Structure formats: C-alpha cells, structure tokens
Chains A and B, each alone.
Chain A
Amino acid sequence: MAEQTSLPLGIDHKNYIKTLQGDGKNLAWKQFTDVFWNSDALRAGAKNEFLFRRGFLRDKWVLYGFDDNDPEEYLSDFQAAQINQANGIYANVLQDRMLLNHTLADYCVVPKIHALRGLDAQEVALSGEWAAHHTDGTGPDLEVLIEPLLAGARGKVEVVNISNGRFEGLGKTGDMKLLSDITRDWSKAARLPYLFADNLQQGPFMTGLHAGGQNRLSVILTRNLDTWDPVISAATLMIGTGASDGRLTLARGGLSAPVDLVTGTVGAAAGIGAEQTVERHDTHPETGAALRDLVVPEWQEIRAALQRIMDESSYMRVAMLDFTLLADGRLGLIGPSQLDLSAVQVHQPLLRDPVFAETMRKLTL
C-alpha cells in the first residue's frame, strides 16, 4: 500500500502555467491576465507575481491563507475557469440549460420549460400552457423564470408571473405580446438566446438558511478515471445575505458552508468580512439562524441521486451543478453551476483529495 500513498498530491502550478499549450488555453490565459491586472480588490502587494505565475487571482492570498497553506493543494483560478472544458464536445451539455434540464429529468425535479427564444429572436412555445396563454389566456397561472439559455452568459435573469394571458413583473404588466417584444429586444441587444421555465420554490430547509432569496446546494461531481466510479468531490451550501442580492458568491457578500459528504452535516459558514478577511460563522450573521451542525434532510437519497447522475452519464467528466431542496426534500435542479470555486476551497483545498487531483491531472486541466 505504500506505493499508493506516494501518488503526488496537488499540482505544480508554476510549471503548469509555464507549459500551457493550445489555442483555447492561450485565449484563457489572455483573459486571465486581463482580469488579474485590472482587479484591485484584496491587493496582495509583493505577492502579486507569485500568484500570477501560478494562475491565482489576487484575492486568493488572503482567502486561501497562503501565508500558511500550500498553493499546490488548491485548484487555481485559471484551472477552475476551464473545468467545464474538460468535458470536451459535451461541455455544451453543462452550459445549455435546456439540454441539462432534459438529461437530468430522471434523477431530480427539473423545472418545466415553457418557451425558448432563439438567437434569431424567434420565440418557440414548448409547452401547452405557454401556447394557451398566448392564444386565449386560458392556461394555468405560472411563475416563470427568464434566463439566458447558456449558463455563464451575462444576460438578464427575471421572474414574471403569468395569469389569464397577462404577465406581471419587470416593473410592469401587460399581455403576452408585450412580454414577447421585451424579451426579443433583450435577445437582440445582447445576442443571447433566452429560456422560459418554471421557477422552483425552495423548501423550508433552504428558506430557513436565509429567507430573502434562493439559496443553493452546489456540487462538484467527477469520476475516478481508473475505476470509472462516480465521485462527489464537494457539496457546498451557498447562503444569501442582505448584501448578496441573489448573486451568491463570497465576493458579493454571500456565505458558503461545507456539507459533509457522508453525513450531510453542515459546517461553519465562511464569508468575507469588512476587513477583507475570511470570517467564519456558526450562525447566520444577520438573522442568527443556526447554520453549523444542521443536517441536510434526506441527505442519503440526495447523495445516491447525485452518484446516479454521474454513473449514468459517461459523457461528463466533471460536472458542477446547482440544486435547491424542495418542500418534500427532493433535489430541484437550478442549472449549471456558476460556483466560484473559492467558496469550496476556503473550507478544504480540492487538490488535497487524491482522486480529484489525479482526475484533474489526467484531464490535463
């Protein structure tokens, strides 16, 4: 067994960045340098060059505590941005909400898709309810989430209520034709396709974390490429605050709490404090709701469902997904994860896990 433990942990980031190859990687490096030198938050001073050469952004010195911790155990920002590309031609599956919605329909609750506005700005009705609202307004009442089809695209995200062929939301009310015209303008202006789907309501456990918005369970699924077994690499609860306003990243004021993969127990939440340092909270800093030692309800079922997703989808190598927990304890799909990996690694460096590190190495990420 001694040979097994001699597997190198972590990744030599300096060498990795030095030997980048390929058009995609070069383009990503250019984007990384743009962001790096234009960012002013959490300046690391003389450590700039150290971070830059290893593909970390400036705020990571403090967030990851590189004064004490070894950078080789952390997935760099440059690598994190390319995780989805490791899926090759199937990267599209994890960006396209429509594909993901249909492929995961057997494993969790997926929001019903009502319509798609394509890039050529045509609206296609995909459900009977939507068509009924358009023709004579007879469909049932809907709460519809309008999002860009592709995750990661910087478009508008809005919720509208639809009843009797009229919509209410976006600060106005009107008939379906008006909604159609508004979204066509969005779509044309930003050259983005938009998707209209049901807005899932989070259950009491999620509401108990923070009531003022949708909290998320973000998971990283991967595969042991030797045994082909599915692996859940991390599960993190992203919790809103008054400041975060729906964008659940640490930098925007959100909190992240790790979930124990075996028991489902929630650990202390981390957030960025006023002094730009990491603060740990056992309770929610605003509401005082207990966070630490909560147990995610029905965790064993959730865990089994997540493993089945990965087991039966061999085209995925690494999947980052966002879920909510519904009132009956089941998983509800939110979509492809836009998780900032610092929310995971602030608790536990990802490359400390030998299986994850080996997978990343084999995918040459």
Chain B
Amino acid sequence: MSTDFVPNGSRPAGVFPAVPRVIYKTKRKNLSHEGRIGRIETVETLNLFRDFSHAFNAHRPRLDPALAGFLHNHGFLPDKGALYGLAPRAPQDPEAELEDPSKTDTAPPEPEPLDPWLSDFQAAILPLANGRYAPALSNRLFFWRLYTNTLPLVPLLGSVEQGHLIRRDRRAQGTILARPMFTSHKDAPEWEPTPQGGGGDRILLDLPPQGAVSQVTRMLVIYDPKTRNPVIVSAVLLEGALDTLDRSGTTLTSRRIDVETGIAGPAMQFTRGLPVAPEMTDPDTVLLSNWWLMVRNVTAGLVRLPVGVVVQIDLLRTAEETDTVIIDATDRIDAAGHQIHGPVMGGEVAVRFIKEFGV
C-alpha cells in the first residue's frame, strides 16, 4: 500500500546502535592516552580536536617545547602540566642506575602515571558517548523539561530564545539565574536576563535564597556499563561566586568529597587556566550533613529515566540546609575542578566506562 512510505530516519537499525563508541571501535585492552589522537577520524571528533588544538596554541606564555609536545599529544591543555603535576617520564638509563645505586635517592620522583587522568580532549569528546540522547544533555531547556518530575531541579521561570522572552506561569521567589541554553556555548553564565538577542539563548532559573558563601556540590555521574546504574565517580565542593564558577581566570576553592562517606577533604585553591599547582588553604575536613539525600535524589532520578551515559550535576543547598536543588546539568565535564585532587578515571567503573564507550 502506498501509505507504508516510512519517513526517512525512522529505521531503527541505523539510528540506534547499541553502544555508541566514540573513537575506539572495539573494546581496548589498556587506557593509555597514547594513540588516541592518531585515531580521530569522524567529523565530530575532528572538529573537537581542532578546537582543542586552537585552545592549546592560544595559551600564553608558551611552554617548554618538550613539555608542550607531551601534553598536546596526550590531549591535555598547557595549564594541566603544573595543575596536575604531569610531566614526561625521564628517559630510562639502566646502565647509569647500575653504576651508581645511590642516585635513586636523589633523583626527582617519577611523575604520576598518566592513564587514570581524564584529559581535556577526552572531556571534550565525552558528550559523544551519549549517542542519540546527546541532545537531551546538551540543551538545558530540554533537560529541564525532560527531568521536571524526576529530579529536584530548581524551578524554570522561562527562557530567552532568538530574542523572545518566553515566560512560564510563575513568579520568581529568589534570584534569577540565567544560564546559556546550550552547553557547548563558550560564553559564561550571566546573572541578568539578556536584553533582546544579546548573547544567545538562555534559560531562566529561580534560585532559592542561599547562605553567605555559595557552595556548589558538583558531581560527575557516569553509567556503569555492567550494572547499568548511574555511579558518582567524583564529587567536589566548589566555593566561589556562582556566575564565575566555570570562567577561565577565576580563583576557586575545591574540596574533594568522599563519595562513600560524604566527608569533604582539605580545601585546595586553584585558578582556572593558570599553570600553577593548587595550594591548600584549609587542611580541615568538613562533613556534609545531607550528602545521602543528594546522592539518593540524583541517582534515583537518573535510574528512572536512563538517558545518556555521562552527565555533570551541580547542586546547591538551600538556606535551611535541609534540602538541595539541582542548579545545573551538563555534558561538559569540569575536568580541572575534579582533578586538582587527583585523577578521576582510575576507578573500576570508570575504566569499564572508558573501554565500553571507546573514549
């Protein structure tokens, strides 16, 4: 019958591969950063690599060529050398070691192994692992619509689209937070709704009243390919003005939260984009009183609506400190914020994830 003309693109076999492998087409044995860039061949990954490469070359002051070559070929931006303490391994010279055994005591410590670090280029290609659900996590308006009854999101007041203000039937109770609608836009969040047009599309969120210091709990959630459950692989407590949290050049304080216990470790201060090692500003630990509530809220929601495989979620405690709300969700991972305390991809789940999705 003529009515069986099926629309283009509704053939599931082509549009729904079981596992969207990003760069490596098969499961690989090791997690080395060697060779990843050599394997880039799809249009999306090539574009992302070009962006990475431009960002790398725009960095000033220039690094020592040997270190720059090492970082670039492993997918790290120049500031990560000092920020994470990454350096190429010293060339092995077994003969020298045999002749002078005492040398091992005075030699500089071997740099950290590189494999468990999430490189900047890897962070850029992670959203591709979301496959056909990538649009759900790269558009904040859509994310808010999709998870409106599933996650504790702050209320959506409206949006600014193509210069038109779309208002929902709701009055603001607290501060209005405007965020870019698309996570891949490079412009920073702003506090005021942009006037006509301005800096692109925004969503307007109704931020609840909060304490004097804004502490944002940032979670990196990935799906475990084996158990198919969302797993929080890293969580940090960031202190700093909300609007500049992700802006380059901002000085921030970050505490790593132990996912098992909810204890936030010592505070480390670092500046985004600066090749300076983080500095400990407060050696004391802090116990997050409502950590389990946060974990339960986030994972329960993501279990009910399994869309995508990697997402970073920002939570804010309300003034009463009894409840938490989600103020941001994005597929762009803040690699530096998580990793100034150490690599995040070393865990069992993270290793499975990287192998499964070929990032």
| A residues in contact (CB < 8 Å) with B | 24-25, 27-28, 31-32, 35-36, 39, 41-42, 57-59, 77, 81-85, 89-93, 95, 98-99, 102-103, 105-106, 116, 118-120, 122, 124, 126, 148, 150-154, 191-193, 228, 249-252, 311-315, 340, 342
Contacts and interface: CB of A to CB of B under 8 A. Distances in A.
Interface string B182-219: 00000000000000000001000000000000000000
Contact of A315 (B139, B149, B162, B168): B139
A150 B141 contact: no
B3 A340 contact: yes
A103 B305 CA distance: 11
Interface stretch (B7-15, B263-271, B311-319, B338-346): B7-15
Given A119-B16, A312-B168, A77 B1 contact: no
B304 interface: yes
A228 B3 contact: no
Nearest to B135: A89
Given A92-B132, A103-B146, A120-B18, A85 B9 contact: yes
Nearest to A313: B145
B228 A59 contact: no
A148 B9 contact: no
Given A35-B2, A122-B228, 19 more contacts: A25-B8, A28-B8, A31-B6, A35-B4, A58-B2, A82-B7, A82-B8, A89-B134, A89-B135, A92-B15, A93-B135, A98-B307, A103-B145, A103-B146, A119-B18, A251-B2, A252-B3, A311-B166, A315-B135
26 contacts: A36-B2, A42-B2, A57-B5, A77-B5, A90-B142, A91-B9, A92-B15, A92-B135, A102-B145, A105-B148, A119-B12, A119-B18, A120-B18, A124-B228, A126-B304, A148-B12, A150-B12, A152-B7, A152-B10, A191-B12, A193-B12, A249-B3, A314-B161, A314-B162, A314-B201, A340-B3
Contacts of A249: 3
Interface of B: 1-13, 15-18, 132-136, 139, 141-142, 145-150, 159, 161-162, 164, 166, 168, 201, 228, 303-307
Given A102-B305, A312-B166, A314-B166, A32 B5 contact: yes
Nearest to B203: A314
A118 B12 CA distance: 12
A41 B12 contact: no
Nearest to B159: A314
Nearest to A311: B166
Contacts of B2: 35-36, 39, 41-42, 57-59, 77, 251
Contacts of A118: 18
A31 B6 CA distance: 8
B115 to A, nearest CB: 28
B54 to A, nearest CB: 24
Contact of A93 (B8, B142, B303, B304): B142
Contact of B164 (A27, A228, A342): A228
A279 B3 CA distance: 18
A142 to B, nearest CB: 17
B7 A81 contact: yes
A141 B93 CA distance: 73
A192 B16 CA distance: 9
A145 B278 CA distance: 55
Nearest to A153: B12
A315 B49 CA distance: 27
Contacts of B135: 89-90, 92-93, 315
* Most B-side CB within 10 Å, residue of A59, A148, A193, A312: A312
Nearest to A24: B8
A156 to B, nearest CB: 14
A25 B142 CA distance: 27
Contacts of B306: 116, 124, 126
Nearest to B156: A312
A47 to B, nearest CB: 14
A250 B8 CA distance: 21
Contact of A81 (B6, B148, B305): B6
A24 B7 CA distance: 11
Nearest to A314: B161
Given A103-B142, A106-B148, A41 B1 contact: yes
A58 B148 CA distance: 45
Contact of B141 (A32, A152, A315): A315
Contact of A95 (B5, B10, B307): B10
A314 B204 CA distance: 14
Contact of B1 (A36, A251, A312): A251
A131 to B, nearest CB: 11
Nearest to A42: B2
Contacts of A41: 1-2
A102 B161 contact: no
A315 B307 CA distance: 17
B142 to A, nearest CB: 5
A312 B13 contact: no
A58 B5 CA distance: 12
B151 to A, nearest CB: 11
A356 to B, nearest CB: 18
B162 to A, nearest CB: 6
B88 to A, nearest CB: 40
B292 to A, nearest CB: 20
B3 to A, nearest CB: 4
Residue in A95, A102, A342 with the greatest tally of chain B CB atoms within 10 Å: A102
Contacts of B166: 228, 311-312, 314
A249 B18 CA distance: 32
Nearest to A29: B8
Contacts of B6: 31, 81, 152, 154
A226 to B, nearest CB: 10
